[in-house]
Amino acid sequence: MKSVLQALIPLSLLLSAGLSQAGDKVLASLHPLGLVAASVTPAEDLSVLVPPGMTPHDFSLRPSDIRKIRAARIIFWGGEDAEPYLKEFAQRWPDKHWIDVSHFAEAEHEHSHGHEDHHDGSAADDDHRQADAFLHHDPHWWLAPEVMVAAQAELAAVLQSGTKQSGQPFARAVAKQLEKSRHQLAGVREQAFFVFHRAYDHWVEAMQLNQAGAFTLSPERKPGMKTLQSMREQLQRGDIKCVFSEPEFSPALLDSVVRGLDVKRGELDPMAAGIAISRDGYVRYLQYLTDQFHQCLS
């Protein structure tokens, strides 16, 4: 009997160790989504797929990344438009809980527009519809705070049974920060600016800022000479208060366009690399965006 008990002890230790590590492992695909997930996920249960300083535009999966996906029970990701390299795995492992934040964007869009939109067929109305269409399909959903609140609430609900977490504190903190951001940016809303690429439309819409253009729709696409010449002419006329670069990409293109002109320069990081993963990380990221816009547009 004693020998049997001795043989069972190591087995019981292995089982208990396995149970202690069997929490809800959450994999956030991108660093800014990790900031959202950290508001409701214990630090020891959270990991991020794409390293800080790297974007989904230039990321490719390695074997170690696939192991991370396999080890996670919940994947908090941006959807196939933002991260096409994860689409295959979402189909391969449907038993995992895939929280696609773009689905919450669709729900928010339908809720805000309802079924009573009326259009008069004017050119201005057509411009509005085109801008709205781009905004609805812009995959940088972590820059749409209302979408992140809805997606975080879903993550909190999935974790609810095991961790007793709630999404309400996050929603309140984001709402408070948005009120603060709108107040801080109220005096610079009319100031026009250029961004490096079309990553900020959701934030610009939320804050009612005056984005006059972007050098490119996506970093993989080089702007044409006609576009660059038009933007330089706007800069020469003094129409543009600030030009924003991004830390993940070379500023050489922007340098060439603004060379010799008296225009303010700023930096925006759509990947939030400078914000550490923490429970209040996403709110701090929103404040970072607010400060960067306010400083350059003032």
Common-topology check for domains 21-109+135-173 and 182-297? yes
36-78 pLDDT, tens digit each:
999 999 999 999 999 877 888 888 899 999 999 999 999 999 9
Residue boundaries of the structural domains of the chain: 21-109+135-173, 182-297
Instruction: Name the class of domain 182-297.
Output: alpha beta
Q: To the nearest 10°, the Cα dihedral for 226, 231, 237, 241?
A: 180
Give the pLDDT confidence score for residue 217 in this predicted structure: 80
186-236 pLDDT, tens digit each:
999 999 999 999 999 999 999 999 999 999 887 777 888 999 999 999 999
- In one letter, which amino acid is 47? S
235-247 pLDDT, tens digit each:
999 999 999 999 9
pLDDT category, 264, cuts 50, 70, 90?
very high
Q: Which CATH superfamily is domain 21-109+135-173 in?
A: Nitrogenase molybdenum iron protein domain (3.40.50.1980)
Q: Do the Cβ atoms of 28 and 82 come closer than 8 Å?
A: no
116-130 pLDDT, tens digit each:
454 454 444 444 444
- What single string gives the DSSP state of each residue in 15-45? HHHHHHT-S--EEESSHHHHHHHTTTS-GGG
For the chain, give the percent of residues with pLDDT over 70: 80
Specify the long-range contacts of residues 238-241, CB closer than 8 Å, at least 24 apart.
239/192, 239/212, 240/192, 240/193, 240/194, 240/212, 241/191, 241/192, 241/193, 241/296, 241/297
Give the pLDDT confidence score for residue 75 in this predicted structure: 98
Choose among 219, 32, 222: nearest CA to 143: 32
Choose among 88, 68, 86: nearest CA to 27: 68
Give the pLDDT confidence score for residue 3 in this predicted structure: 41
Percentages helix, strand, coil for the chain (3-state, rounded to 5) are 55, 10, 35
Residue 277 CA to residue 116 CA, distance in Å, equals 41
Q: C-alpha distances in angstroms, 258 versus 117, 238, 263?
A: 41, 12, 7
Provide CB contacts within 8 A for 155, sequence distance 6+. 26, 36, 37, 40, 41, 74, 76, 99, 167
